[in-house]
Amino acid sequence: MPTDNPTGGPADGSTSGDAPRIVFQDVVKKFGDTVVLNGLNFTVAKGERVTLIGPSGSGKTTILRLLMTLEHLTGGYIYVDGDPLTFEERNGKRVERKPKDVARVRRRIGMVFQQFNLFPNMNVLENITEAPIHVLGRSKDEAEARARELLEQVGLGDKADAHPTQLSGGQQQRVAIARALAMDPEILLLDEVTSALDPELVGEVLGVLREVAKNTDITMLIVTHEMQFAQEVSNRVLMFDHGRIIEEAAPDVMFSNPTEPRTREFLQAVL
Amino acid sequence: MDFFESLLDAWPQLWSGIQITLQLSLGGAALAFVIAVALGLSSISEIGVVRGVSRVLVEFFRGTSLVVQLFWLFFVLPQLGFRLESMAAGIVALGLNYGAYGAEVVRGSLNAVPKAQWEGTTALSMPWVTKMRRIIWPQAWALMLPGLNNLMVMLVKGTALALLIFLHDLTFVVDELRRTEGTYFAFGVGFALYYLISLGFSTVLRMLERRAQRKLGLAPTKAQTAQATAGAVA
Ligand SMILES: Nc1ncnc2c1ncn2[C@@H]1O[C@H](COP(=O)(O)OP(=O)(O)O)[C@@H](O)[C@H]1O
Ligand SMILES: [Mg+2]
């Protein structure tokens, strides 16, 4: 884990300022009888960028969705800045947390989806300001000023009034990134954010993400098949197979000289 | 002309019947809408008991006939010491019955909003009210309007049952006219007037539907249409 990273800003309301940003502890996830994760453990430091690679169905999406509380955690614990996310251990028992407590911790996490998921009943600006106004309680003026700033950053300064359907996939995804950033997340989850895009639009989205990586200290969990991008942006790469981490290395090592035959096989197929 | 003279003669009577029918329709629809929204939202609640109660109420009021509900409200409730006037009984019966059907339309539309939209709101940590009011409902609204429109037309026709609890609605008046003006005239006028009332309601609802779709970018917005027209003219 890199130690040269400045720790992310103040951990809003977190109990321990020096706790790792993310801890997966004995995480189990089942869909019915299908066991997807069976006792997964890993830690992500503040400000770290971790790329998750592995064959389709190895559980990468499930990991991000568990963090975003989009899936029910079957077993184990997830901690964010030392705070339990959906379950906590109390008197040796595993207890589900109250929705209010979950919401407080979840607010530190943002996610960008493969399919953008912009709100079709709102224009671009409203898509971005909606949550800051109604969740963070920002004023409309403040939220709009920040949204316009973010739109500039993602190269869409002139699209504030556009409707999502008037934008290309690459533009929609950049709006989705701006929307996630508008919530000032400490953690940003990126699940194959360029997979749904035409090849010629991939570059503009990755460009925006490179800038975000460079100019912020947001902790990132990245699932991508863009290995060049992963190498540039991430501090560490985790190789998954059947819900287990089979190899873990710095990107240059992972991509040039992986140890595991399974990793080599996978990378050969992808690269 | 005979027909128009007869119509002119009968108009005061017809108008009073139309008013009763409109009152029942509007009152019934307003109550049905409130019930449909309440039960529809309850039916997708995360709380099992709320879901269950909603389920039972919907099934009960859908599954028992409107006529029987009307009789209960008007004839049985008074014996239990709770008297409703005819108009109130009519509105409540229509509201409960069509509200139950409407709840299914609301539930179906909420479920038809893509899962990705719900997940988008979770990823932005939106509390339930914000999520529903600002994101999910506006999208479901566009989907539910055709179904609600359908129910509205059925509700207008359903108001005819009010004559069973002695309301002098349009059907009652038409039936009276049958005796003085003949079957052909009375039922012809009855047909036409019910048709016009239904048409009025569904036109309004169709307009709401278009507006909702425009907001979702499913139809050109006014500005876009204007722009397109300007472009065509230029
Ligand atoms: N909602 C679901 N219901 C049942 N099985 C699921 C569901 N979501 C994911 N899975 C299964 O979990 C496994 C891991 O899926 P996923 O996390 O999407 O993998 P990846 O993102 O690495 O391709 C797969 O076997 C997949 O079929
Ligand atoms: Mg996936």
pLDDT tens figures, A70-129: 999 999 999 999 999 999 999 999 999 999 999 999 999 999 999 999 999 999 999 999
Give the pLDDT confidence score for residue A17 in this predicted structure: 66
- Domain assignment of residue B123, given as a range: 2-221
Would residue A116 be called left, alpha or beta, if left means φ above 0 and alpha means ψ between -120 and 50 degrees? left
Nearest CA in chain A to B214: A121
Q: Which residues, at least 6 apart from B226, have a Cβ–Cβ distance to it below 8 Å?
A: none
- For B227, the token pair is 């722009």
Q: Which residues, at least 6 apart from A245, have a Cβ–Cβ distance to it below 8 Å?
A: A40, A42, A238, A239
Q: Which of B119, B124, B137 to mutate to test the interface with A (most CBs of A within 10 A)?
A: B124
**Strand pairing class (A49-53; A236-241):** parallel
**Strand pairing class (A75-80; A93-96):** unpaired
The Cα–Cα gap between B197 and B182 comes to 23
What CATH number labels A1-108+185-271? 3.40.50.300
CB A85 within 8 A of CB A78: yes
CATH of the domain at B192: 1.10.3720.10
Give the pLDDT confidence score for residue B228 in this predicted structure: 43
The Cα–Cα gap between A7 and B137 comes to 40
Q: What angle do CA A88, A94, A97 make, to 5 degrees?
A: 45
Quick one: which of A131, A157, A129, A133 has its CA closest to A144?
A129
Give the pLDDT confidence score for residue B225 in this predicted structure: 46
Closest CA–CA distance from residue A121 to any residue of chain B (Å): 4
CB B202 within 8 A of CB B149: yes
- For B42, the token pair is 């309850």
Would residue A243 be called left, alpha or beta, if left means φ above 0 and alpha means ψ between -120 and 50 degrees? left
Give the pLDDT confidence score for residue B105 in this predicted structure: 97
DSSP characters over chain B: -HHHHHHHHHHHHHHHHHHHHHHHHHHHHHHHHHHHHHHHHHTT-SSHHHHHHHHHHHHHHHHS-HHHHHHIIIIIGGGGT----HHHHHHHHHHHHHHHHHHHHHHHHHHHS-HHHHHHHHHTT--HHHIIIIIIHHHHHHHHHHHHHHHHHHHHHHGGGGGGGT---HHHHHHHHHHHH-HHHHHHHHHHHHHHHHHHHHHHHHHHHHHHHHHTTSS--HHHHHHHHHHHH-
Nearest-CB residue to A121 (from B119, B127, B139): B139
> Is A140 in the B-facing interface, judged by CB distances under 8 Å?
no
Taking the CA of A74 as reference, the closest ligand is: 1
- For A156, the token pair is 């869409």
Which residues of chain B carry a pLDDT beneath 70? 1, 219-234
Give the pLDDT confidence score for residue A198 in this predicted structure: 94
Q: What angle do CA B158, B161, B164 make, to 5 degrees?
A: 170
Pairwise CB contact (< 8 Å): A115 & B221: no
Q: Which residues of A touch B116 (CB under 8 A)?
A: 113, 115, 117
ipTM confidence score: 0.90
* B190-193: long-range pairs with CB below 8 Å, 24+: B193/B14, B193/B18
Q: Which residues of B touch A69 (CB under 8 A)?
A: 122
Q: Which numbered atom of ligand 1 lies nearest the CA of A192?
A: 21
Give the pLDDT confidence score for residue A7 in this predicted structure: 38
What is the number of residues in chain A?
271
Quick one: which of A109, A38, A21, A120 has its CA closest to A74?
A38
The Cα–Cα gap between B138 and B146 comes to 14
Give the pLDDT confidence score for residue B173 in this predicted structure: 93
Does residue A34 line the site of ligand 1, with CB under 6 A?
yes
| Strand ranges in A184-224 using DSSP code E only, listed in sequence order | 187-191, 219-223
Q: Which residues, at least 6 apart from A25, have a Cβ–Cβ distance to it below 8 Å?
A: A41, A76, A77, A78, A79
Number of domains within chain B: 1
**How far out from the chain centre does Cα B5 lie?**
34
CB A247 within 8 A of CB A84: no
User: What is the number of alpha carbons within 13 Å of residue B208 lying toward its C-beta?
Assistant: 18
CB B20 within 8 A of CB B174: no
Q: What angle do CA A198, A204, A209 make, to 5 degrees?
A: 120
The Cα–Cα gap between A120 and A68 comes to 22
Phi, psi of A38 (to 5 degrees): -130, 80
From residue B224, give the alpha-carbon distance in Å to each of A242, B211, B219. Answer: 50, 13, 9
Pairwise CB contact (< 8 Å): B217 & A119: no
Residues of chain B whose C-beta is under 8 A from some C-beta in A?
A: 116-117, 119-120, 122-127, 130, 134-135, 138-139, 215-218, 221
Give the pLDDT confidence score for residue B180 in this predicted structure: 86
Whether pTM exceeds 0.90: no
The Cα–Cα gap between B54 and A181 comes to 39
The Cα–Cα gap between A17 and A81 comes to 7
Phi, psi of B167 (to 5 degrees): -90, 135
The Cα–Cα gap between A154 and A176 comes to 10
Pairwise CB contact (< 8 Å): B126 & A106: no
Location of structure tokens 């027909």: B3
Which residues of chain A carry a pLDDT beneath 50? 1-14
> Is A23 in the B-facing interface, judged by CB distances under 8 Å?
no
* Number of A–B residue contacts, CB under 8 Å: 66
Does residue A29 line the site of ligand 1, with CB under 6 A?
no
Domain membership of residue B234 (yes or no) is no
- pLDDT tens sequence across B91-115: 999 999 999 999 999 999 999 999 9
* Alpha carbon nearest to ligand 1 atom 16, residue: A59
CB A221 within 8 A of CB A22: yes
Q: What angle do CA A128, A131, A135 make, to 5 degrees?
A: 160
Ligand 1 centre to CA of A59 (Å) is 6
The Cα–Cα gap between A85 and A70 comes to 12
Pairwise CB contact (< 8 Å): B134 & A117: no
